[in-house]
Each structure stands twice: as structure tokens, then as C-alpha cells.
Amino acid sequence: MLTREQVHLGEFLKAVAEELDIPDSRHEEAVSRYEAVSKWLSAPDSPLRRFEPDLYPQGSFRLGTVVKPVSDEDDYDIDLVCRLGIRKDTVRQEQLKRMVGDRLKQHDVYKTMLDEKQRCWRLDYANEFHMDILPAIPDPASLYEGILVPDAKLDAGEWHTSNPKGYAAWFRQKMEVVFQNRRKALAESIRASIEAVPEWKVKTPLQRAVQILKRHRDIMFKDDADDKPVSIIITTLAAHAYRNEDDLYQAIMHIVDGMPSHIERRNGVPWVSNPVNPQENFADKWREHPQRATKFANWLKQVEIDLLTAFSRADRSDMAAGLIPVLGDGPVGRAQRRLGIPVKTAIAKTSALAKRPYSFFSVAHRQIPTWPIVVGESVSLSVSAHRSEGGPKLQDLPNDCQRPLSKDLHLQYRASTTARPPYTFCWQVVNTGAEAAAANDLRGTIFEGDEIRWERTAYSGSHWIECFVVKNGFCVAKSGEFVINIE
């Protein structure tokens, strides 16, 4: 059973995801735009008409996982396939691309908006979105509407294989139960038939989780575009890890925890299979750039840290404050206003946290938990400062207080959990900074303890402690890092 805090976080994450999504009006506009392009490509006077052009969406627009760009200056990206009924042995790759481009250039308006990319043609609808049109032909070796796509990086005569319709069907199957239940509920709420509810209007926790993950990635890697985890890997692993949860908080925590287990190794090579073409490795670039695998793993850990830290906050304003630096001021702020959560409080409390780099918690001496993490309960920490261990309390301490503590104070950490016994409290203390390093006391291992833990302020810098609740070999609750700053 979910706690009240977990329910609140799930509701808030859903509201943020809705703010990240393409608005209904923009979605309908995009459909109208590409249907008009489709009519132009297949018009009676079109040279392409005899090849029966089939223009359809692929990628996030088809999957329902579109995410608003971080910068307001950027537009939504709509990916389309233009499939022509031409045999592979009757057309060259550059010829196929030119055929589609030449037809678009014959349109008085499209020719002013057209931009040629390496593999596609882009129509730029200023201040709205841009549509990337990828020329393709049927793949005779595919059993489910697979396509062959021109790729200048391949040798002459070789084509890139793809199957966006097959992938979308696989993704849909991973969430079919929840999707149908939600579509039925929406139909009942508006007193309409199920068939009258457009599929794109129904969003499952899997789709919302992918949107949240992609947004977190976009912000975390805004200055590291080359090694940014690609969307197809995130989407594929998330779908594998999804358990048809109906609650977004539960879904995203289970997804983050389960995604790594679906990364294979084939002959020592990291492998994320295309579910509709198991011989294709979505992570093929990791072999050439091994740091991308490391950064992907670190990113997943950071997602978990950020969500658990937000979850551990006392109220919804504090929770929102913790999400602003990792999901963005715009969508978080708009979600706050919709849910009636004070915005000024959240922004004020987040200003200092937003300056903390993501790498702060990713230190090499921090032990990775060995138990499976299935967070279904909560554990919170109350922390107080004392002159001596067991002595009178001087003050209660907030997490990551920007007013540093003096040295030689004794800190009492008291854990409180919703889990039912029997369980074990485990603690992890991590020191950072030059003084702790010089004293060979960086620490970072996980150890068993009681519900109360005493520590001393010994070294200048920022340090943290985290509490885990372990039951039957599983971690059922995590407190998130409680940061202490020492002058």
C-alpha cells in the first residue's frame, strides 16, 4: 500500500509529465500538417504517386513519449517515415532521397521551409515544431512492415534496417493492460464509446515515466550532448522493466531499479537488443565509446537519488523544490500552480540546491548497495546537533543547510520507517573534501546499525549519511542523502 507521500509524489510527477508533453492543440496541428504533406506526396500529379507513398509517424510522437525541449527557443521534433513501394534492386539510396526532396521542392510553401539533413528532409514550421521526413522502402526480409533506410555511412548497396511500426506495437503490448483500463475509464468519464477516444489521448505510467526520464537526462547532460543516453535505449529498457503498475511513482522507481538487468553482454559487449530485430544492438556505440555505458549507469543512479531525495522531503513544496533543478523550473513551476502548491517557497528553497553538481553524490568510494532495491516503504531521518554524544540537544538540523556547522559537534540521526518488523537498519556515511582525504577517512561502506546513529563533525566540506531499511534480503526503503556542511 502506498504512503501518502508516495501518492503525492506520483501525482506531482504526473503533473510535471503533462507539462512536458506536447499540448493537445499542437498534437492535432502536427497531425493536420503531416496529413497535408502526405496528400502532396501522393497527389495525382506527383511523380511519387505510382509508388503509393505512405507517410506515418515514428519515434516519440508515435509512442506518446514526446518531451518539450529544455530551451523555449527549441521546437518539438516530429519524426516521420515516407515509405515508397520500390524494390531495393531498382533504386539507389541517394536517388530515393532525392525523389522525396524533389517532390517537396515543387510545393510553393514547403520549398521555403525545407532543409536537407544527412538521412532525411526537414520541414521547419517556425515557432511550432519541425518534421523530419525519412525516405524508406520496404524491407523484403521483414515479417512486419520493416523498412530499409538510406545511410551514407554504410558501404554502397547496404541499407539501414528499421521497423518503427513493429517497435511501436511491441511498446504498446508492454502496457496494454493499463492502457485499455485507462482508455475505458476516460471514455466513461466523457460518456463516449471506447473507440471514440483517440489512442494518443491516453497516457500510461510507462509513457509518463519515459517522459520524466528523458527530461532528467536532457538537463543532466545539457553540457555533454555527445555522451547523452539515447532515447531508444531509455525507452526500450523502461518498457522491459515496467510491470503494469498503475501508479507513476511505483512505476518509475521499479523501472529505474530494473533497467540495468535488461542490458545484456554478448561476447563481452554491452547489448540492448531491438525487440523486433534481436540482432540489432541499440547500444552499439558503447563499444566505441565505453564512457557512455558508465555515464548511463551513473545517470540511472542519479535519477533514483533525486527522486528519493524529493520523496523524503516534509511537504509538497519541499518536494517540488527538490525537483526543480533536475526536471526544470518551467514544468515543475507550472505543475505547482495547477496543484495549488506555493511556487515562491519552492524556488527559494531550491536556489542553493540547484548549484550542486550532479557528480557530487557519484564519488568512487561510495559503495553500491548489493541488495535488490524494491522501494515500497519509507524511511525518514530526524537530525539534531549536540555538544556531546547523548548530551542536551542544541538544535534540529535541516537537510543541506547552507549555514555550515562548526567542528567537534555530535550529530544524532534517528530513523523512522513505515516498514513492519522484522527488518534491519543499514547506514552509509560518505565524507568528501581534502581534510577527510588527508586523514584517510572518506568512508563510504554500508554497515548495519540501530535506529539511532551518532556521528561527529570532524572535517570541513560537505558530507552525507543515508539510511536503508532491509527486509528479507531486499531494500524496501531509502532515506536519500542527508547532507551536512561543515566549515
Domain 379-486 has CATH 2.60.40: yes
Domain 24-162 has CATH 3.30.460.90: yes
- Whether 398 shows a pLDDT value over 70: the answer reads yes
- Whether 339 shows a pLDDT value over 60: the answer reads yes
> Tens digits of per-residue pLDDT, 213-253?
999 999 999 889 899 999 999 999 999 999 999 999 889 98
Average pLDDT estimate for 141-167: 82
45 phi, psi to nearest 5 deg: -95, 5
Beta strands in 190-349 (DSSP E): 264-266, 269-271, 273-274, 277-281
Domain with CATH 2.60.40 in the chain: 379-486
Max mean pLDDT range (153-162, 307-316, 452-461): 452-461
Size of the chain, expressed as the number of residues it contains: 487
Q: Are strands 379-386 and 410-417 parallel, antiparallel or unpaired?
A: antiparallel
Question: What sign has the CA pseudo-torsion 243, 249, 250, 254?
Answer: positive
Average pLDDT estimate for 58-63: 94
Alpha-carbon distance values, 472 to 42, 256, 450 (Å): 62, 21, 17
Q: Bigger pLDDT: 154 or 197?
A: 197
Domain with CATH 3.30.460.90 in the chain: 24-162
